[in-house]
Amino acid sequence: MAVGTMTTAGRARRAAYSFALLAGCALAPLGAHAQDAAPAPKPVVLHCPALLDSVAGKMLGQSSVVIQGDRVTEVVSGYITRPEAEVVELAGETCLPGLIDAHVHLSNEFTPTVYSDMLHFNLADWVVRSTVWAKRTLLGGFTTVRNLGDSHYETVALRDQINKGWVAGPRILTAGPAIGSTGGHADDGDGLRMDLQPDVGAHDSIINGTADAWKAVREHYKQNVDTIKIMTTGGVLDLSGSVDNSQLTEEETKALVAAAHEYGYIVGVHAHGAEGIRRAVVAGADSIEHGTFMDAQDMKLMKEHGTYYVPTIYTGTYVTEKAKGNPHAYPPAVQAKALLVGPQLMKTVGDAYKAGVKFAYGTDAGVYPHGENWKDFPLLVQVGMPAMYALQMATINAATLLKKDKDIGSVAAGKYADIVAVPGDPTKDIMLMGKVDFVMKGGVVFKKGGAEQVFTSTAH
């Protein structure tokens, strides 16, 4: 090897060695001059006139929730206090577990200029906006979300900076970019002139064949995602012509799900068409997203396999109403698809509930403005769900789908102190879910009395 040159492996070894030296230098003084541990935070006691027991599906009466740090330590009937505790009175409120939205897109939001914005904005522009959208989501009462699709793993960074206390936002489980096929709903080159269509592959989450499927999932693992999103059918908002055609073969779908499960991920599947839904369910997918044209066979299979349905019902209605109200709301290819989905999705969700399919709450927020995630609740009730079940969808059901029910989804000792409140009983008036006026996430109050609390970064 010539003097002054170095292989990629050599550069990597040198970088690793340099990092180790720096880390050793940085850490050495800490051992010699360890700081005293910070004093334990004082306990907080919430006095809730009513408290949703999401596991039992019933409303409890006056309850006290005792919180130490970021966890609940006690849930006690009646009003009590504890030594040195701060007591928070929530008069007239119903307390609920922090809400969970199992389908959002925090680094995008569709506006009249979104298609041109995608050509002009840098990734950094979307990242900055995502911090605002994340905060709006949290203030709406959603303390945990599953982010099912971004562009370049930017929501991995958003997740990490929220966790480190730099910005305010919900607890995020992110999939990174959705995985699909060439020309499919996940292919950003759809509808562009040929010289603007990139040559993409598994590294870009676009697969063609089972080997690509494994490579794509492994790339996501490398980028430290929490979950996997795949797309087995067309969709509404891409510039192609079909919303329901199958876009992954049965073998590709099985390979993606198998690879994801091999790495311990749950798999959410974007699927509108009946055949794409069937392929995903048979492959062992954990949830079906949208499911617009789901048929009776799909519903039967979902019950047999225990597959969750995340219907994103308000999004379907939203895009249809926009398309009806404005013939130029979307590009022509999108406009035609948008007109189809709303009424059909309402029917499908009602039929699936009657058929006994399991549901978890998810909205597709980002298709409509972030922070309005509550708007699925009234439509779920409208198609025949009891309000209590709709609330369970957004609490214990979603937590179980995400395999996080030991930490979130109900208010119980040992779980995160994620608690929200609304002014009244949402089982009697589901519209109250749009009036969340108290939000606590991990023991930190972000909203109280309807007012946003000042966020102070805890990062160092």
Q: Write down the pLDDT at residue 191.
A: 61
CA quadruple 294, 300, 305, 306: dihedral sign: positive
Q: Write down the pLDDT at residue 154.
A: 97
Query: Nearest Cα to 420, choosing from 108, 90, 192?
Result: 90
Q: Write down the pLDDT at residue 390.
A: 98
Q: Write down the pLDDT at residue 436.
A: 98
Query: Nearest Cα to 95, choosing from 425, 442, 456?
Result: 425
Between CA 383 and CA 352 the distance in angstroms is: 10
Lookup: tokens for 323: 């398309």
Terminal Cα distance for the chain, rounded? 43
Q: From first to last of the 460 residues of the chain, give the pLDDT tens digit.
A: 343 444 444 444 444 444 443 344 444 443 444 455 667 889 999 999 999 999 999 999 999 999 999 999 999 999 999 999 999 999 999 999 999 999 999 999 988 788 778 778 889 999 999 999 999 999 999 999 999 999 999 999 999 999 999 999 999 999 999 999 977 787 676 666 676 667 777 888 889 999 999 999 999 999 999 999 999 999 998 877 789 999 999 999 999 999 999 999 999 999 999 999 999 999 999 999 999 999 999 999 999 999 999 999 999 999 999 999 999 888 888 899 999 999 999 999 999 999 999 999 999 999 999 999 999 999 999 999 999 999 999 999 999 999 999 999 999 999 999 999 999 999 999 999 999 999 999 999 999 999 999 998 888 7
Could you tell me the CA-to-CA distances from 241 to 107, 110, 190, 247 in Å, in that order? 25, 19, 10, 13
Match 């979300």 to its residue by tokens: 145
Q: Write down the pLDDT at residue 199.
A: 75
8 Å CB contact between 294 and 347? no
- The total number of residues shown for the chain amounts to 460
Residue type, 420: V
Q: Which residues contact 162 (CB under 8 A, 6 or more apart)?
A: 134, 168, 169, 170, 171, 172
In terms of Cβ atoms closer than 10 Å to its own Cβ (0-12, 13-18, 19+), residue 7 is exposed
Q: Write down the pLDDT at residue 193.
A: 67
Query: Nearest Cα to 293, choosing from 335, 340, 327?
Result: 340
User: For 260-265, which contacts have Cβ atoms below 8 Å and span 24 or more sequence positions?
Assistant: 260/217, 260/228, 260/230, 262/217, 263/217, 263/218, 263/221, 265/217, 265/220, 265/225, 265/226, 265/227, 265/228
CA quadruple 440, 445, 451, 454: dihedral sign: negative
Name the pTM for this structure.
0.91
Q: Which residues contact 285 (CB under 8 A, 6 or more apart)?
A: 230, 253, 257, 267, 268, 269, 307
Could you tell me the CA-to-CA distances from 378 to 52, 58, 225, 367, 436 in Å, in that order? 18, 19, 32, 18, 15
Structural domains of the chain, with CATH:
99-407 (3.20.20.140)
Q: Write down the pLDDT at residue 411.
A: 98
